[in-house]
Amino acid sequence: MKKNFNISDKFPLNKGGKGVVKLINSATSYLFFILIISALAYSSVYSQLTDNPLIPLKKQHDYQRFGIFGSFNLNQHPSEFQSLPGVASCCQDFTNGSGTGFMVGLLYEYPLQDNLFLGIRAGYLTRDGKFSRDENEIVNVFGRDTLGLIRHTLETKLADIAIEPTINYRFFDRFLVHAGLQFIPFSLKKSFSHHEDLIIPEIGTFENDSRRRLDSSGNISNFSPFKLSLLAGLSYELPLNSDGSWILAPEIFYTYGLLPEIKDSTWKVNMLRFGLALKYSPIPKPRFDTITDIKKVPHLAADVNATGVDREGVEAPVVQVKVEEFLSTRMHPLLTYVFFDENSSVIPDRYRRITKEQTATAKVEQFHDFNALETYYHLMNIVGKRMLMYPDAKIVLDGCNSNEGKEKNNIELSKKRAEAVKAYLTSVWGIDPERIRLNPRNLPNEPSNPQKEDGVVENRRVEILSNTMEIIAPVITVDTLRVTNPPSVRFRTDYRGEAPLRSWTLLAKQKGKTLKTFEGDNAMPKETDWIFANDEKSIPKTQDPLEYQLIVHDNTGQMFESQVKSLPVEVITLQKKRRELFADKLIDRFSLILFTFDETKLTYFNTKVLDIIQSYIKPESNVKVMGYTDRMGEADYNLTLSQQRAQGVANTLHSDKKTITGIGANDFLYDNNSPEGRYYCRRVDVTVETPIEFK
């Protein structure tokens, strides 16, 4: 019987004794080195910190920090496995490997509250390890059985990217304790080398005629892609300059592995790290108390009040705004001119256009609007739809120019303007080009005054003429008319500011919805009139109070909002009048703008329109004829001109109950900054009120 004795008792490498001693000695030496360096760095600035403390040293922790760090790692590899996947090994088990490594990276710390911080680190980490196990085995040397010692060695090279979120707490002066996690999302290196060596006896070989066998290397198979470890540590912060913005921190960390390195194994990696962190903490510049002259804030105040204005312009206190509904036929004149910008043949964007697909379902009524200008901007759509309705009708497009400046004798420009209108009618509405004739010219047949800038602008146009009246006829709408009493509300504003006024806004609302807005810059008028008939969409629709408020801004940037005031509202609907048998009437309104510049004569087309109006007049009807002009010309002359136009219309109407009024340019119905706005102000309005008897 062979007697075996344990050679490893003489060579106790498999017990790990010498390895542990060596690791402890290395750690102690490295830690001592760190402390010496830190002490030297700290002592070099200590006198500055005490002699010139711009901020308390403790307060350096109150700001966010950026920095770099580095550490020396003592790696522990607790495990129990015979071999790596796919690697041949005769070892009984590899246990408790060890190694060294390092970690370098960036850090960021953010203060959450006093003494408590959120930290994040990211860096490059190595976790190398070496597993070694000695085993006794009977070997045959020169025909004799001999007790041998075989050393199994496995070395691993692991390099990773590591992320470490932590909570850091300062528990005493400059000492911080750290707790968190270490994430390794992916590895950069995962290689190994493995071999078995014959140590004793010193002579002899393995069966491969070598003293080393099972020598292999490569990448570790079945390696886990994600690692997670618990992390805890301690650090001591040393300021490196007088304001504490640069900090050197010796630190020690320990990580405890939670997940295995190889799937379904017990091999994990723990680390003891000794290192230094260099941190920079941006310190806000110190604030010094200064004596500041307090400037006087200019006083700012404003107010607004409302009164009613009757049809004669007489003011009266507003008891309430009464809104009454009437059945009404309204006729808007259709201005058949398309105006163009200077030296341009592009149809301006204010003219409404639709797609070819939309024309299939389009109806004339959808182009009608309470506001005559909104209806006018659909001129080309109305003409296109009517030409489809009257297939025998033809039109002539008179292309014109101002015959001034760049447009002087520019017949080609006039032609291009007419072609632009024709192109829309043919391409979108599908009108046969043979039904449209072009007639380019310089000035229109009846031009506006070329001596005035407004007249020059008005002459840049295309006139649409037709042999069929239905193509260019007025737009007639049967709808509900809403009439207010008083017909106007006058807002009186009062600005009481010491600084100049920069801007102002006057708002009228009902149930939070804005009905009307008046606004401007610098000067604010003392009076602002809200004429309901000029903007029927703004007329209140419910009996909720009508609220109004003035908002002003001065040149210093201050804002003031006046007190919100209100007017009561009463709405009398058609249904209510029918139900309660109120006295009622039909109110039919007709407008004519078929007056050229500075003219009062009635054309053949005018007389046809007046025939339509006459058909609505009954013996009991009250007829009101009102004439208007635009801003061109002197005020007195315009007043006379408006009276002459109203009188000319009234003379053709047969009624014993007529009132005739010339308004002139005292009350513009539309914005006179556009040519179409001025044309729609050269008008006569006829209102026919006919009582309704209930039977």
Classify 181 as helix, strand or coil.
strand
* DSSP 8-state class, residue 365: G
Digit-coded pLDDT (tens) for 423-482: 999 999 999 999 999 999 999 998 988 888 999 999 999 999 998 989 998 888 888 888
* 3-state class (DSSP) for residue 537: helix
Domains present along the chain, CATH in parentheses = 7-139+159-189+222-280 (2.40.160), 302-325+479-576 (2.60.40.10), 334-460 (3.30.1330.60), 583-692 (3.30.1330.60)
Residue 477 has φ and ψ, to the nearest 5°, of: -130, 130
Question: Across the strands, what pairs with 190?
Answer: 158
Number of H helices, E strands in the chain: 10, 31
DSSP classification of residue 111: E
* Residues with Cβ within 8 Å of residue 314, at least 6 apart in sequence: none
Q: What is the mean pLDDT of each run of 10 residues along the chain (695 residues)?
A: 34 40 48 52 50 45 84 92 78 84 95 90 94 81 78 91 95 90 92 87 78 85 89 93 87 94 88 95 70 79 94 87 89 92 96 93 80 89 95 96 95 97 97 97 92 93 94 86 92 94 95 94 92 88 94 94 95 84 84 63 75 90 90 83 88 90 76 90 90 72
pLDDT value of position 86: 77
Residue 347's pLDDT is what?
A: 97
Which residues are within 8 A (CB) of 30 and not within 5 positions of it... i.e. 6 or more apart? 72, 274
Q: Mention every residue, 6+ apart, whose C-beta is less than 8 A from residue 104.
A: 68, 69, 70, 71, 123, 124
Is-contact 69 178, C-beta < 8 A?
no
pLDDT at 385: 95
Q: Which residues of 316-353 are buried (b: 16+ CB within 10 A; e: fewer)?
A: eebeebebbbbbbbbbbbbbbbbbbeeeebebeeebee
Three-state DSSP at 582 gives: coil
Distance from C-alpha of 225 to C-alpha of 483, rounded to nearest angstrom = 80
Distance (Å, whole) CA 638 – CA 629:
6
Across 282-394, where does the E strand assignment appear? 302-309, 315-316, 321-332, 337-339
CA separation for the pair 101, 129 (Å, rounded): 9
Q: Which residues pair with 195 in a beta bridge?
A: 153
| DSSP secondary structure letters along 587-653 | EEEEEE----TT-----HHHHHHHHHHHTT--TT-EEEEEEE--SSS-HHHHHHHHHHHHHHHHHHS
pLDDT value, residue 287: 64
- Check residue 364 and give its pLDDT: 81
For residue 85, what is the DSSP state? Answer: T
Token pair recorded at residue 593: 């703008």
Q: Please state whether beta strands 337-339 and 461-466 pair in parallel, antiparallel, or not at all (unpaired).
A: antiparallel
CA nearest neighbour of 128 among 192, 183, 220 = 192
What stretch of H or E contains 413? helix 411-427
Angle at which helices 635-652 and 604-614 cross, to 10°: 60
Radius of gyration (C-alpha) of the chain in whole angstroms: 49
Tell me the CA end-to-end span of the chain in Å, nearest whole number: 141
**Total residues found in the chain within this entry:** 695
Contact call for residues 226 and 259 (beta carbons, < 8 A):
yes
- Cα 463 to its chain centre, rounded Å, is 44
- Any residues with CB less than 8 A from the CB of 458 and at least 6 apart, and which? 339, 447, 448, 597, 675, 678, 679
How many CB atoms are closer than 10 A to CB 354? 17
**Crossing angle for the helix pair 411-427 and 379-389, nearest 10 degrees?**
60
Q: Which two tokens stand for residue 25?
A: 């000695």
User: Can you give the pLDDT at residue 480?
Assistant: 84
Kindly report the pTM of this predicted structure. 0.51
pLDDT for position 12: 38
Query: Is the distance from CB of 331 to CB of 474 less than 8 angstroms?
Result: yes
**Amino acid letter for position 600:** T
Sign of CA dihedral 610, 615, 619, 624: negative
Contact between 642 and 628 (Cβ < 8 Å): yes
For residue 148, list its beta bridge partners. Answer: 137
DSSP state of 82: S
pLDDT at residue number 396: 97
Distance between CA 456 and CA 241 in Å, rounded?
78
Strands 658-664 and 436-438: unpaired
Residues 94-103: b if buried by 16+ CB within 10 A, e if exposed: bbbbbbbbbb
Q: How many CB atoms lie within 10 A of CB 84?
A: 24
CA separation (Å) from 299 to 72, 194, 553, 561, 562? 70, 89, 12, 13, 14
Q: Return the pLDDT at 1.
A: 30
Beta strand 315-316 with 302-309: parallel, antiparallel or unpaired? antiparallel
Strands (E), 467-617: 475-485, 488-495, 501-510, 513-521, 527-531, 546-554, 559-561, 565-567, 569-572, 584-592
Amino acid at 240: L
Q: What is the DSSP letter of 392?
A: T
